[in-house]
Amino acid sequence: MFRTLCLSILGLLLPFTAFCGVYGYIDPEGVYHITNIRPANEKYHILVRDLPKLLQLKGGNANQYDDLINQHAQANGLDPALVKAVMLTESNSNPTAISRKGAQGLMQIMPDTGQIVELKNPFDPDENIRAGARYLKLLQEMFKGDIELVLAAYNAGPTRVIQHKMTVPPIGETINYVKQVKLRYDKLKNSQ
């Protein structure tokens, strides 16, 4: 009964498009603990599940950034369909998207990566797409054009790809990410 009451209250307090799960447990003193950070403690149970990334984001028009994508893809010698596939998978065309891990903007650039690609305003579509294209180019050079490794590195970081002997790291999120981007990329190439 108490759990149902807590869930009802949480339902009223949480926005409809929550970005992360909510976890809770009752300690030996009867105090109910609630957090939105995935706990290591096995006593916690899921109150509200994480939403899939694409459901969390209010996306824009999938074609509204095509001119910027074409401009920055060409400047970096990339296929615009690849840049667009990454952008759609990352943010669903939402220029204000922020991931749970801190990635920002259309191309979901992490702050440390942003410094490497000289990204000053991650929420400016032009700057963000430019930075994302520049980063994809760096990864293509690093992984000799192997699209799966480039995408895995974009998602999990190049260090993880290198640590796993130049293969896609065995991380569920990364494996799914590579599949999703490749599927979108193929569809975009075939629709041109």
Residue numbers annotated as active site: 90
Spatial contact of 59 and 94, defined as CB atoms under 8 Å apart: yes
98 strand-pairing partners: 104
45 strand-pairing partners: 24
Residue 89's Cα: distance from chain center in Å?
Answer: 7
Phi-psi region of 103 (alpha: psi -120 to 50; beta: other; left: phi over 0): beta
Q: How many helices (H) and strands (E) does the chain have?
A: 9, 3
Query: How far is residue 38's CA from residue 132's CA, in Å, rounded to a whole number?
Result: 28
Sequence-ordered list of residues with C-beta below 8 angstroms from that of 12, at least 6 positions apart, any chain: none
Spatial contact of 174 and 168, defined as CB atoms under 8 Å apart: yes
Q: What are phi and psi of 153, to 5 degrees?
A: -70, -35
